[in-house]
Each structure stands twice: as structure tokens, then as C-alpha cells.
Amino acid sequence: MDGCGGGGEKRALASELAQVQAMVRELEARMDQDLPAAARELCGELASSVDRSIRIARACGWDSPGSRDGSPRSDGAQHPAGGGGGNAQSKRRKGAPCVRTQVRVAAVQDMAPLDDGLSWRKYGQKDILGAMYPRAYFRCTHRHSHGCPATKHVQRADGDPLLYDVVYHGAHVCAQAAHPAAEHLRRQLQPEGHADAGQELRSPLAPETEGLRAGLEPTAPYSFGPAPGAGADFGGYLPLLSPTGLEWQLRSSYAAGGLGVGMDYEPHFEEFYTNAADPFHWEYQDLYAAN
């Protein structure tokens, strides 16, 4: 599956692209301070272009720099077919990208993390190779009563046990579908308005830059759980990602730097949203489409 030359060349390409990416982002950060919007926009497009290049190169088979430097593991997503499993969700069919939306959330110690306002039932837990923490599997409480296909996978980040990677699969078709968080998630899963329960995204790919921007410009304040005030509209759901047919995950490597610990988290997320494009070093990784 590797049509792009030998491993050494791949690594060289990976290294070069990673360097360019880092430089672009540093430039971006600096430009944010005092340069005009047009220049920032151009810089953003440059960053997007570099990102696309990385994705293309990755499609040729080289290991992503991101996957080497930070968290090994866990994005179970990195395994195209997502492994086995006994039902249709786990056995993703070839040729049909199964939509996932991945977010990274932080939790404050001793607080229930990841309460997104929806009701989930845990149905499994699994140690993941290379990950320090096991991955937990949740499905909609109304799976049987309403046939709701929504599931999510939750895993602690290696670098910071207060950070969680959450991958949503499918959309709620149960009563919870009316919940703002579920509604938002459903839109994320079906940006073109397709309404077939979010099983799989068939709509054309959104331009990658759109996806990127969606990630860099989150649309809602963040909070955990049904916290009063800001963020309540989304019930704590963090729409960091605009999925495209090519699945990718958006990750803030800055986040591992210590959001949350022993502090009020809301101010952090306000800052997170206000300055997302600047102090945060965004990186996205292909979750590549299950097919």
C-alpha cells in the first residue's frame, strides 16, 4: 500500500513536512499578534496546504510525526477496519467511510468526566496496545428500546490522565436525538443534512480547509457536564471536529500541558476558544476512513 518509495524517503518527507508545519504554525502565532487579517488568512491556507500534504504523504504509508512524538496508541481509529466485533458498527464495510467524531476533553479530578448530557451505557472496556489507560466503550442507553446506534469510545490520554479522547460513532435516533448535544453531534456526523441516522457519511467531502477551520474555530463555549451557563447548550459536547469523508482527528497537543488540574476549568476553555488558533498547537491525524 505504499506507493511512495522507500522508508528512508518517507521519513525524510515526513520530517520535512513536519518542519514546515511547525514553522507555519509559529509564523501563524506570531502573525496573530500584529499582522492584518488577510495575511493571517493566507497563513492559514498555507497551514492547510501543508496539512493536506502531510495527509497525502501519510496516505502513501509513512508514519505521521504526530504519531511518533506524542501519544502512541489509542486512536483505535488508526486501524482502518477498527477490528472485529460482533455487530455492524464494529465491522465497518469496505468502501463506506464510517463516520466518527473525535474530541479531546479534559476533566477535573474527582469530577465525572465526559458527561455530555446524553445517557450512555458502558458495555466494555479494553486495554489498548501502547496506551497507558484502557479504552471504555459506551452505547446509547436506548439502543435496544429504540434501536439507537450511537456509541462512543472514551480513553484517557497518556500524557495527562485528566484528558480524555472521545470518539463518537453514529448519531442518536432515540429521544435523546432532540438533545442539543446530540443534535450538534448529528450535524457533525451529517454536515450535508443526510438523515439516515448517521450510520455512515455518504455526503461529499467537505473541503479540508473547512474542516480545519471548523476545528480551529470552535463554535461553542466549552463546559463539562450539564454545567450551568456557558456551554449548556451543548451539554458539554465539544465540537472540535468537522468530520469529512476522510476521517481525521483534531488534537490539541497543548491540551496535554495541563488543562484542568486543580483549577476551575471554565476559564481555561474560554481561553481555549478565544485563542485556539494561537497558543494551541493543532495537529490532526488521519483516522483514515474505515473501508
Residues that bind DNA (CB under 7 A): 73, 76-77, 79-87, 89-91, 94, 119-131, 135-137, 139, 141, 151, 153, 169
CB of 33 to DNA, least distance (A): 40
CB of 54 to DNA, least distance (A): 21
Cβ proximity of 107 and 227 under 8 Å:
no
Return the number of the residue (44 or 170) whose C-beta is nearest DNA: 170
Return the number of the residue (30 or 93) whose C-beta is nearest DNA: 93
Q: Which residues contact residue 177 at a Cβ distance below 8 angstroms, ignoring those fewer than 6 apart?
A: 148, 171, 183, 186
CB of 200 to DNA, least distance (A): 13
CB of 28 to DNA, least distance (A): 32
- Grid look-up 472540535 returns 240
CB of 133 to DNA, least distance (A): 12
Return the number of the residue (53 or 119) whose C-beta is nearest DNA: 119
Cβ proximity of 133 and 76 under 8 Å:
no
Cβ proximity of 244 and 211 under 8 Å:
yes
Strands of 107-243 (E only): list them. 120-126, 135-140, 151-156, 163-169
Q: Could you write out the DSSP letters of every residue in 34-79?
A: HS-HHHHHHHHHHHHHHHHHHHHHHHTTPPPHHHHHS--S--GGGS
Tell me how far apart the alpha carbons of residues 54 and 240 are, in angstroms, rounded to a whole number. Answer: 20
Q: Based on the number of CB atoms within 10 Å of its own CB, is 185 exposed (0-12), middle (13-18) or buried (19 or more)? A: buried
Return the number of the residue (114 or 162) whose C-beta is nearest DNA: 114
Q: Which residues contact residue 85 at a Cβ distance below 8 angstroms, ignoring those fewer than 6 apart?
A: 91
CB of 287 to DNA, least distance (A): 10
Return the number of the residue (91 or 281) whose C-beta is nearest DNA: 91
Return the number of the residue (90 or 253) whose C-beta is nearest DNA: 90
Q: Which three cell numbers stand for residue 11?
A: 521519513
CB of 159 to DNA, least distance (A): 17
Residue type, position 40, single letter: R
Return the number of the residue (168 or 272) whose C-beta is nearest DNA: 168
CB atoms within 10 A of CB 210: 14
CB of 55 to DNA, least distance (A): 19
Return the number of the residue (17 or 150) whose C-beta is nearest DNA: 150
